[in-house]
Chain A
Amino acid sequence: MGGLGYPMLTVVTFFPLVGVLILLFVDKESKKVLRWTAFITTVVEFLLSLPLYFKFQLGTHHFQFVEKVPWIKVLGSYYHMGIDGITLFLVLLTTFLTMLSILASWTIDKHVKEYMISFLLLETTMVGVFCSLDLLLFYLFWEAMLVPMYLLIGVWGGPRRVYAAIKFFLYTMAGSVLMLVSIIYLYYHHYKVAGELTFNLASLLSTPVAASVAPWLFFAFALAFAIKVPMWPFHTWLPDAHVEAPTAGSVILAGVLLKMGTYGFLRFCMPFFPQATLHFSYLFLTLAVISIIYGALVAMVQDDVKKLVAYSSVSHLGTVMLGLFALNLQSVSGGVLQMINHGLSTGALFLLVGMIYDRRHTRLIKEFGGIARVMPIYATFFMIATFSSIGLPGLNGFIGEFLSLVGAFKTYPVFAVLGTTATVLSAAYMLWMYKRVFFHEVTVEANKGLKDLSFREFMIMLLVVIPMFWIGLYPKPVLERMEPSVLNFISQVKGKVSAQKELSPQGREKISMAAFIVENKELR
């Protein structure tokens, strides 16, 4: 079990359900009580997840805080939880963003009770996805997550919310059912080879599948995760879902749910089928680069800020995929870090877009202009989030993007060069949008009386900006926790030999070089 002597992951996963239980007994008209109950639940939840960071043991890729109890004995399925250096941060990101999302949902006035319940249920399933080490358990959380998200988009979303919600649900479900078949196949394959019925991740990983079936299984997994990421051409659900979802829904969707796709590649798809991964890596690198460039170009022509941010997600997640498939220490570390960064920066952008939408009930760029004059604090925060998103040195986005591109350059220079266009393009569309929204004179009458951030909004933004600077200036605590797990991932895919090479003095030098550059920026 480790840690603090209580089942920490179970507590972190299921604590939101305590909040749900309390909410059930609160009168649905007392909205204030409902909001505060949900908020306090998520704050406690976040505080409960912090010890995971402090008690996390460095220097090992083994899963920590492991809990293992029989769940369905006939099937050999266990309630098996554990985190490593990668999921640690994804869990923290989830609890952190959920807390901010609840705070950002103060303006929700319709069916507050149901809203808060859905959100807390969503939190449980999200944390569960990252902690599960049993494939059946993982699938349970993975698929169950659809229900609260479907309701959040469909009930509290924008005008075309129903279409968006159903599209989101069906896309994700269609992808994941094939993954289920693949999981079942692995399960029986392991049974045939090892004579043991189990869904245990480690056991299943130890039984390689025949080269003739591996590509099929690989693509069944890859499809489920590629839809979630989303990679071009499976991205079409994303703009709809993002635009129609309520602010907090978008934050969670971009911040956490998309990460489940890349996490799935990292934890399941690639380690399970190393040969297939290497064999098809060019396909996925190509798709990643297409996603990067396509997402950025489409973002450039959007006239709706939220849609712009949504398409920028496609582009950023392309960078993550590029990093993962380039398969070396820097690129994967960068990819994983970029997952966290994208959660923070895009989460922040969606929060900011939500704040202006609450005031003006529009998100069209042409409706704004000169906002910096009326809302200076807002403009500042928006600036920071923009810089974080486009990867300005000193902020978190830089480290992730830089590492993944440098890493990718080592193995696939052409793809890396193409991927680098993302940094240019993202600067272009973000700054152009920023200019049109915030600079010049206030042209629209309705914008003249806009109030700057309230205390609540200010607190949200302050909280989200802190980790941006922290990771941007001092990424070492994050990177050093991640490193053993990343190396383990690479060795799972590329075999032990090449992973050793990564650890050779030369390899170490390279990552410390990255750290060096980063530290220099800090000094500057």
Chain B
Amino acid sequence: MTGGLDVSIRPLLPVIVLMVTAVVVLFVDVFGSRDRESHYGYLGVVGVALAAWFTLGLWDKSSLTFAQTFITDKLSVLTTMIYLLIAALTLLFSPGYLHHEGRNLGEYYALVLFAVVGLIFMTSAQHLILFFIGLEVLSIALYALAGFVRQRDLCNEAALKYLFLGGFSSAILLMGLAVIYSVTNSLYLHQVARYVVAHGASATFILGMSLVMVGFFFKISAAPFHAWAPDVYGGAPAPVAGFMATAAKVAVFAVILRFLDSAVFSLRSHWIAMVVVVSVLSMVIGNFAALRQENIKRMLAYSSIAHAGYALVGVAAASRQGGAAVVFYMLAYSLMNLGAFGVVALVGRQNESYVNISDYAGLAAKRPVLAAAMAICLFSLAGIPGTAGFMGKFYVFAAGVKAGQIPLVVIAVLNSAVAAYYYLRVVYMMYMEEPKEEYQISFHPAAVFALLVIVVGIFQLGIIPGSLLSVSYSSFALFTF
């Protein structure tokens, strides 16, 4: 039932714009003069803005094109907008950082843009092979980005670890897809669904589904498949770590929702149990490990494991509201996490020499604005009302309660109280300790602008979230039967 090859350029316009921009950046890098290197980021942002403009035009124009493999719906539009926002913020944070490291090269920006292309394909895939290709496009870009500062050992270690474990998890995922295909003879989501409804789930199919889920859990760094995350986020350049921790997670969550809804919704009694277990493990392991971290990047890595756990509460709700809550949560999470990693990049300075929590002592006295931005991001991560983090958590937990997952929600809220401790520790360092040294932090205007956007976003989502909650709800037409 593949139909004719209905080629329509329109849904692909954002992707095309991004790829053209990436290529232009590469060409400028090769043929342009060296002293224009700081302009790559801005060029990238222009491309991202143009792509965003085209994406917005697709909001009301759902379509299923390219032999029904490429779906454009509100979910894909909204998540694409989130990727573009993440990419723009990353591009703004990067120039100052890369300049310090002496690695301000065009290919960095091109790789970020290529990664976004992969992300868009992942969430727009109606066919699991297209999804897998998107995932690989993303992963290869991320492998290169993780090791971008190649003179640093930690960076190389991060890239290599990510390559091995990423390849490993991709293999598991692919194995799962193969098993599913062997049972259903198709990798179209809707055909898989039709098969499962008609024939019920055989043990083989459950195995395939479980392998796919494990692959997904690897990619969102949910426990017990999280072991790579602290090393990779800790070693990768801070802006890249921020990008990896947000963009990839948003995309895989969107894919999880799409897969669970469109392909295996009828098996929800099986996967809800799986999601609940992984959610609890992620929250508990992530939070308790984060309590003991001295390196702020590793702390944020463990915290991102815990956040994957919170978001999985929304998945476990298996409802339209739960899905919408996950999307909203991902947006909130991306903002605050990018902000935190952005500050880490600034405070880290050359060669990331200052990435321990103790290096933040007295930051508030010396750099009040930077410290305030960090504090806002951290309070948001801790889920204090008035910030995006609270609204995200609230919405996810509300969906959980509505779906009757009350014990899970109780575990989640208690975990968020534990989490407050390690976020507060950084706030305490910044505000309540005396500065040990002079902070010679050079502000790159682009990074400052990005932080401003993030802070405004955090408050907007935290205080007047109404319009975005409606958007995420209307974007999420899944789980409606």
Contacts and interface: CB of A to CB of B under 8 A. Distances in A.
Interface in B425-477: 425, 427-428, 431-432, 464-466, 469-470, 473
A169 B420 contact: yes
B421 A72 contact: no
Interface string A136-175: 1001111110110011001100000110011001100110
B416 interface: yes
Contacts of A139: 385
Interface stretch (B87-95, B170-178, B199-207, B396-404): B396-404
A50 to B, nearest CB: 28
Interface stretch (A36-44, A178-186, A507-515): A178-186
A210 to B, nearest CB: 14
Contact of B465 (A72, A141, A180, A181): A72
A185 B403 CA distance: 11
Contacts of B398: 75, 184, 187-188
A74 interface: yes
B410 interface: yes
A302 B465 CA distance: 49
B413 interface: yes
Contacts of A165: 428, 432
A74 B417 contact: no
Interface string A480-514: 00000000000000000000000000000000000
Contacts of B466: 70-74
A1 B308 CA distance: 44
Interface of B is mostly: helix
Interface string A117-146: 000000000000000000010011111101
Contacts of A383: none
B406 interface: yes
B424 A150 contact: yes
Given A166-B421, A170-B417, A181 B401 contact: yes
A177 B466 CA distance: 22
Given A74-B466, A74-B473, A180-B394, A188 B401 contact: yes
A187 B480 CA distance: 22
B410 A144 contact: no
Contacts of A169: 420, 424
B414 interface: yes
A118 B358 CA distance: 24
B413 A75 contact: no
Contacts of A71: 464, 466
Contacts of B425: 166
B379 A147 contact: yes
Interface residues of A, number: 37
Given A139-B385, A147-B384, A166 B428 contact: yes
A181 B420 contact: no
Given A74-B473, A140-B385, A180 B397 contact: yes
B409 interface: yes
A114 B379 CA distance: 17
A155 B385 contact: no
A140 B383 CA distance: 11
Q: Looking at A141, A146, A165, A181, which has the most chain B CB atoms within 10 Å of its CB?
A: A181
A174 B384 contact: no
Nearest to A110: B365
Contacts of A151: 431
A155 B432 contact: yes
Contact of A170 (B386, B420, B432): B420
A74 B398 CA distance: 13
Contacts of A73: 466, 470
A144 B385 contact: yes
Contacts of B401: 181, 184-185, 188
Interface of B: 364-365, 379, 384-386, 390, 394, 397-398, 401-402, 406, 409-410, 413-414, 416-417, 420-421, 424-425, 427-428, 431-432, 464-466, 469-470, 473
26 contacts: A70-B466, A71-B466, A72-B464, A73-B470, A74-B466, A74-B470, A114-B364, A140-B386, A141-B385, A142-B385, A143-B385, A144-B385, A151-B431, A166-B425, A169-B420, A174-B417, A177-B413, A178-B413, A178-B414, A180-B397, A181-B397, A181-B410, A184-B394, A184-B409, A187-B398, A188-B401
Given A74-B466, A155-B432, A184-B401, 17 more contacts: A74-B470, A74-B473, A75-B469, A139-B385, A140-B385, A143-B384, A143-B385, A144-B385, A146-B384, A147-B379, A154-B428, A155-B431, A173-B420, A178-B414, A180-B397, A181-B413, A184-B397
Interface of A: 70-75, 111, 114, 136, 139-144, 146-147, 150-151, 154-155, 161-162, 165-166, 169-170, 173-174, 177-178, 180-181, 184-185, 187-188
